[in-house]
Structure 1
Amino acid sequence: MRIVLVYKEDYPWDVRVEKLALALTEQGHSVTIVSRNLEQRPIRETDGKLKLLRLPRFGQFPLCIRKLLNFPLWFNPIWIFRISQAARHERADLIIVRDLPLVRSSLILKRILGTKVALDMAEVYPEMYASSAQSSDNSFAQRLLKNPKVAQRYETSVLPKVDHTLVMIEESRDRLLRNGISQDRVTIVSNTPPIDKFGGSVHQHTGTNLHLAYVGFLTELRGLDLLVKAVAEYIERGNPADSIKVDIVGKGASKPKLQRLVKELGVRSSVTIHGWLSQEKVTQLMTAANVGALTYRVCGHWNHTIPNKIFDYMLAGLPVLATEVIPIQRIITQEDCGLVCRDLDTADIAEKLEQLRKPELRNVLGRNGHEAVKRTWNWEKDKTQLANAMRSINSNNN
């Protein structure tokens, strides 16, 4: 098939978009990615077998105007024109839209051009907006644009018109089935890594010192403050401050709060809040780590998606330390590859950190996780699921 893949952020780079696009080209499809262009990159570009078509460059305007012109509202004529341009030029058989906001734009083109439309539901937007509203002090504009009730109505109106939906995890699929979407129009294509991502190396655990590294956005929902507080409690329980090291890398609204918390709790020798680091430095930190932390706050958002970090931790042979987020807890319990802590309970997180000081336990949990990824949670299997979904779409003439 000739496929247009719509991504509402700048490309490159996104791990999942790249994996989907490359897998589709491997399976014989032609893929054109349509993306935002805040970074003022060339409008047309070729990246290997992938064709890129970005929104126009509005360099003559200030950044605030460029953001407005690039904003992924379904009725934004710039997005509609660019997706239409790509679909007409490539004579597209299918438009795959990453996430909810631009689905209706593509459905307009489905009516005009007869092009099929699929949704890659990496995030469940009504749940994400509801969870964010509970944990963040959003501005009036954010509350207006990210209203969970509006998102729910929008989702309910477009999903029955979409030819197929890709979801991340069983919990997301089951939510759609409960809402009346036919099972043969939903496929799980999870956020898993290729088996050879780390060259087959598995962390060998020795010694009683712990090293945790987090790389990503710093937001309230990610529970990094819980991890910092747990480190303070871990030290208060009599464990040496130099027996644990936590590197937190990234940017986001929670960064100033985390920096203040580290200072207030007196754990600066154990916890470092970095900004963005070079990929080389990030790789060094991740290679040195011996525990993977996912102390997310339990909420509807996390209960309907899955972070790629859990599978990266497992593949690298790191035990996973997590809270009771439903899909994460299910995988850890099923594969016996980590420890699950009570939600919001920093004392329980500290206790689990103490348990993980035992290298024998880390080795067992790490090995279990590594074998589970090789057996089940890998991109090779998910590529097969993706191919099955494409065959289903191609054979459906409705």
Structure 2
Amino acid sequence: MRIGMILDKQFPPDPRVENEAISLIEAGHQVFLFCLSYDKYPLQEKVNGINVCRFSSSKLEYKLSALAYSFPFYSKIMEKKIGYFLSENNIEVIHIHDIQIAQAVFNANKQFQLPTVLDLHENRPEIMKFYPHLKTFPGKYLISPKVWKNKEEVFVNKAKKVVVVTNEAREEILSRTHIVSNDICVVPNTVRKGFFKAPKIDANLVKEFDNKFVLLYIGDTGDRRGLSTAIATLHSLKNDIPEILLVIVGASTNDSNLLQQVKDLSLENYVDFRGWQDASTFASYISSSAICISPLHQNRHHDTTYANKIFQYMSFGKPVLVSDVKAQKNVIEHANAGLIHKERDSEDFALKVNELYANDGYRIKLGENGKYFVQNEFYWEKTSKELIKLYSDIKS
């Protein structure tokens, strides 16, 4: 089939979009990707077999996208572009990536009546509640997460098939929509085999941490990611584990707050901020670590979404320490790949770190459990079979 994927941002990068597209191409489909361009990328290009069709966009359109369900301007603008894309490429089925552009797609599709797949990368209405621009004027008064949630339910019921990232997300969607269970499938953001097969390890980077007991965090450092909990524990942990070092590979606008917390607690020698690093370095950082962490705060978004980092950690045989938000707690307990701490509870976090530090054999066992789980049961080439089956069902 000729699948038309619709993305409301630039491409690349977007690992989920790319992974799905490549898997569908390998299954014999043709994939055409509608995306936006704010730079001087070629308007037509083939990327790993994906027919990328870029449509020039402006800063104004970008700003209007945040108001997609407050005013109709963004959807009207995108509707025309999408209609042209669908017609020009003889698309047979539409695959919408997330809900921001969904209204424009459904509007454009009125003249084509093509089957539509809605791919929900995350619980957008819930995570919006934490966006800084929704907490200040004018966003606070112009953008309503409740309206977005209502729209999401409308789109779910309009779509022929729905894709979500966790079983918890599937159950949450089923609980508040009229969709039947057979029309929703789970395609988690797992890692490709290439991530952990024959990785390139930077020996010099690994050597930097030779005499350290490294707690590693990779990813966005926003407040809801829980790094303040991890930092707070170091005040006591440094007495029990003098060689402890929290290594943070990532960044966000919240970094100034984290840096101030480190300064206030006099922990400059125990926290290493590395900022954003190329994904090619992740294997080296993970190899250097003793424990890998994901101390997320509890909210409805985190309860239904995996942080992809936990599978990256596990694929290298590292024990993980995660907070007790529902989705990650369930998968770590299922794999017996690490320990669970109470979210936002620095004392419990420290207790679990000490437990792992005191028992090398236990750390190794948990790490091996996680490695086996990811490398044999929960890797992209296997979990994406649900997506392939979904398209087989549409075709039949």
TM-score, with normalisation over the residues of structure 1? Answer: 0.89
Change over 3 Å in CA distance of 1:323–1:382 after alignment to 2: same
Please say if 1:139 is aligned against 2:141. no
The answer to whether the 8 A contact 1:38-1:67 is kept is no
Change over 3 Å in CA distance of 1:67–1:148 after alignment to 2: closer
TM-score, with normalisation over the residues of structure 2? Answer: 0.89
> How far has the Cα of 1:24 moved from its partner?
0.8
Question: Counterparts of 1:175-194 in structure 2 under 5 Å?
Answer: 175-179=172-176, 180-194=178-192
The answer to whether the 8 A contact 1:195-1:373 is kept is no
Change over 3 Å in CA distance of 1:137–1:57 after alignment to 2: closer
Paired residue secondary structure (1:13): coil
Equivalent in the alignment of 1:61: none
> How far has the Cα of 1:168 moved from its partner?
0.6
Equivalent in the alignment of 1:150: 147
Counterpart of 2:308, as a letter, is N
Cα deviation code 1:176-204 (max 9, x no counterpart): 22123111110111111123421167x9x
Equivalent in the alignment of 2:118: 119
Equivalent in the alignment of 1:239: 241
Provide the C-alpha distance between the structure 2 equivalents of 1:387 and 1:247, rounded to a whole number of angstroms: 38
The answer to whether the 8 A contact 2:133-2:139 is kept is no
Counterpart of 2:63, as a letter, is L
Provide the C-alpha distance between the structure 1 equivalents of 2:349 and 2:297, rounded to a whole number of angstroms: 13
Equivalent in the alignment of 1:48: 48
Provide the C-alpha distance between the structure 2 equivalents of 1:138 and 1:305, rounded to a whole number of angstroms: 23
| Number of residue-to-residue matches in the alignment | 383
Identity %: 25
Change over 3 Å in CA distance of 1:307–1:281 after alignment to 2: closer
Equivalent in the alignment of 1:91: 90
Structure 2 unaligned blocks of 5 or more: 202-209
Cα deviation code 1:43-66 (max 9, x no counterpart): 2222131111122155xxxxx546
Provide the C-alpha distance between the structure 2 equivalents of 1:175 and 1:114, rounded to a whole number of angstroms: 28
Provide the C-alpha distance between the structure 1 equivalents of 2:67 and 2:17, rounded to a whole number of angstroms: 17
Question: Counterparts of 1:1-398 in structure 2 under 5 Å?
Answer: 1-56=1-56, 58=58, 64-65=59-60, 67-68=62-63, 73=68, 75=72, 76=74, 77-130=76-129, 132=130, 138-144=135-141, 146-179=143-176, 180-199=178-197, 209-235=212-238, 237-240=239-242, 243-279=243-279, 281-357=281-357, 358-395=359-396
The answer to whether the 8 A contact 2:216-2:286 is kept is yes
The answer to whether the 8 A contact 1:99-1:121 is kept is yes
Counterpart of 2:223, as a letter, is E
> How far has the Cα of 1:311 moved from its partner?
1.2
Paired residue secondary structure (2:248): strand
Change over 3 Å in CA distance of 1:323–1:208 after alignment to 2: farther
Provide the C-alpha distance between the structure 1 equivalents of 2:63 and 2:140, rounded to a whole number of angstroms: 17
Provide the C-alpha distance between the structure 1 equivalents of 2:215 and 2:111, rounded to a whole number of angstroms: 52
Change over 3 Å in CA distance of 1:305–1:311 after alignment to 2: same
Provide the C-alpha distance between the structure 2 equivalents of 1:42 and 1:233, rounded to a whole number of angstroms: 54
Provide the C-alpha distance between the structure 2 equivalents of 1:218 and 1:352, rounded to a whole number of angstroms: 21
Paired residue secondary structure (2:34): strand
> How far has the Cα of 1:69 moved from its partner?
6.4
The answer to whether the 8 A contact 2:133-2:140 is kept is no
Paired residue secondary structure (1:277): coil
Provide the C-alpha distance between the structure 1 equivalents of 2:2 and 2:254, rounded to a whole number of angstroms: 42
The answer to whether the 8 A contact 2:36-2:57 is kept is no
> How far has the Cα of 1:137 moved from its partner?
7.7
Structure 1 unaligned blocks of 5 or more: 59-63
> How far has the Cα of 1:252 moved from its partner?
1.6
Change over 3 Å in CA distance of 1:281–1:311 after alignment to 2: closer
Q: Structure 1 segments of 4 or more deviating over 4 A?
A: 69-72, 278-283
